[in-house]
Amino acid sequence: MKTSLILWCLLATLSANASAAPDGPQDYAWRMAVTPAAGAGVVRLPVPREAYLHARRADLSDLRVFDANGKALAFAVGAPASQSATERREIPARLFPLKGAPASSEGLQNVEIRTSSDGRLLSVSALSGASTGAGPDARRTDALQALILDLGRQSEQSRIGALRFALPAGTGNYSAQVLLEVSDDLKQWDAIGTTTLNWLSNSDTQTLANDSMAFAPRHFRYARLSWQDGEPLAFGAITALALSQSAVPPARASITLQGKQGKQADQWLYATPPAIPADSIGLQLDQPNTVLPVTLGIVRQAEASAVRPHRLYRQHRQPRPAQGSYIEPLLNTTFYRISNGDKERVSGDLAMPVVQASQWVLQSNTTAPISQPPALRLGWTPDTLFFLANGKAPYQLVFGNRQASPAALPLSQVAPGFQPAELLALPAATTGALLAQAGALAEAQAGSPESITNKGNPSWRLAALWGALLLGVAVLGFFAWRLLTQMRHESEQTHTTGDGNDQA
């Protein structure tokens, strides 16, 4: 009995160790060398297009990162974060000197302002007869009191972050402290800062200048410049620095698939790598003046859950088989390529919810026969992979193992404490050429459309399942028989020993 228990535990331990044995780079069909930036701790790597084409798992769970010693490295995979680009441009301001009327926080007092219908400033002048004071210290009515700036109409995304000043011709040295106020309607004014401007020239005509004023970027059209110290001066030019941010779309990847004849004359099939998360689709029409109404769908297995159709899709109701494969239509549309003189109209790619499939189907909705199938174009946005470079270089990205289990970790366990902006700032690693390893041909054949279609036939899977169950029952029966036999033998020995003692 003890022998049977020991044997049973030994077999269970060996089975558990075999199932939990870690995999290595040699267990994957494809590999690519990864070269991170120098000194990188956390490495950012956009998932290469080749990984989507050769991965055998639709969720990319057969991706791995190994170091030179074959050690698996911690990694995370996620959608790329949104990025933005900052555009800088200079805007020359239109200057309007204001004489005779001092600047006031209440607005422009005793000033006549003329604007066009679109807000363009036409003129600024003091009202005739306006009093500016009396006595020997009264301001002259022709003295410069302020400069009004019109920067023109700005987009909603545009922000002004600085002004740069230029002296009028013939002016050498100058110093003054100025106050800047801004407005959108020439009525309400906000003071946003003061600065000291100065220019100092020497005998060698070299000039040391502090000729700019920076402030927190904000949106405005008009500005008012007044003097807190120094002599007012009509500057030769004032230039505004405008900053605008625009969203940068993430990098895209695409694949063009060639079709083959389906079961019907107007039906074409396109074998598709299952890992591609296609979110755009289009047709490449080679013949000019072609209009092709089509129905596009995918091949699904009966036990698979149906894709939730997009609101722009026309759902076709058709009976589905209880088992095996069937075609699920997803989209009705018309692709075209029409030439009109020297101009050509070509239908573009259509956006759609993400669809992953092993085969797309095109059904022509026209009576005109198609001699050659149009190429099908799928587009997607690659994910980004982050891994911790705590192993020995060189590193390699491997994929192509249908038996691999998910190994990606949450990003918080790979790059803890990193903010999205910091992750975006990481320099992207580069990848080498795609290299096939042992078993690549077998994986490619296993991922062929024929083998994928055969997987829809459950007969062989059912037979394999029953075979595994019968084998398990046989093994358990064998051990039970051995256990009962040994127990019977031990029981007989006990009775024999007992009878001998009684006779004595």
- pLDDT tops 80 at residue 135: no
Looking at the chain, the whole-number percentage of residues with pLDDT higher than 70 is 76
| CA contacts within 13 A on the Cβ side of 259 | 25
Select, from the ranges 194-203, 214-223, 364-373, the one with the highest average predicted confidence (pLDDT): 214-223
119-143 mean pLDDT:
64
Q: Average pLDDT, whole number, for the chain? A: 81
Cα separation, 304 vs 39, whole angstroms: 46
How is the chain split into domains, by residue range?
Answer: 29-77+384-454, 87-248, 253-380
Q: Are 271 and 259 in contact (CB under 8 A)?
A: no
Q: Are 272 and 340 in contact (CB under 8 A)?
A: no
Count of C-beta atoms within a 10 Å radius of residue 254: 14
Task: Tell me if residue 367 falls in helix, strand or coil.
Answer: coil
What CATH number should be reported for the domain whose range is 87-248? 2.60.120.260
Which residue would you say has higher pLDDT here, 266 or 336? 336
Which residue would you say has higher pLDDT here, 457 or 162? 162
Q: Are 156 and 126 in contact (CB under 8 A)?
A: no
Using the structure block, give the residue that is written with the tokens 């030439």: 339
Buried residues in 484-503 as b, exposed as e (16+ CB within 10 A): eeeeeeeeeeeeeeeeeeee
Roughly how many angstroms between the first and final C-alpha of the chain, as a whole number? 29
Q: How confident is the model at residue 42, as a pLDDT?
A: 93
- pLDDT tops 50 at residue 7: no
- What phi and psi values does residue 109 have, to the nearest 5 degrees? -90, 140
Count of C-beta atoms within a 10 Å radius of residue 421: 9
- pLDDT tops 80 at residue 182: yes
Query: pLDDT, tens digit, for every residue of 290-345?
Result: 899 999 999 987 764 445 555 444 444 455 555 677 889 999 999 999 988 888 99
Query: pLDDT, tens digit, for every residue of 453-499?
Result: 344 444 444 555 556 667 776 767 777 777 777 777 767 666 555 55
Q: Return the CATH number of 253-380, one of 2.60.120, 2.60.40, 1.10.3470, 3.10.290.
A: 2.60.120
245-255 mean pLDDT:
87
- Return the biggest CA–CA distance within the chain: 149
Q: How confident is the model at residue 100, as a pLDDT?
A: 72
Cα 349 to the center of its chain, rounded Å: 19
Q: Are 113 and 165 in contact (CB under 8 A)?
A: no
Which residue would you say has higher pLDDT here, 467 or 366? 366
Paired with 261 in beta bridges are: 268
Residue 144: partners with Cβ closer than 8 Å, 6 or more residues away: 97, 98, 99, 232, 233, 234
Cα 264 to the center of its chain, rounded Å: 39
Q: Report the DSSP pairing between strands 350-355 and 395-399.
A: unpaired
Q: How confident is the model at residue 175, as a pLDDT?
A: 94
Query: pLDDT, tens digit, for every residue of 413-440?
Result: 999 999 988 898 898 999 999 999 876 5
Q: Report the DSSP pairing between strands 343-346 and 325-340.
A: antiparallel
Cα separation, 212 vs 165, whole angstroms: 6
Paired with 78 in beta bridges are: 384
Cα separation, 44 vs 422, whole angstroms: 11
- pLDDT tops 90 at residue 65: yes
Predicted structure pTM score = 0.64
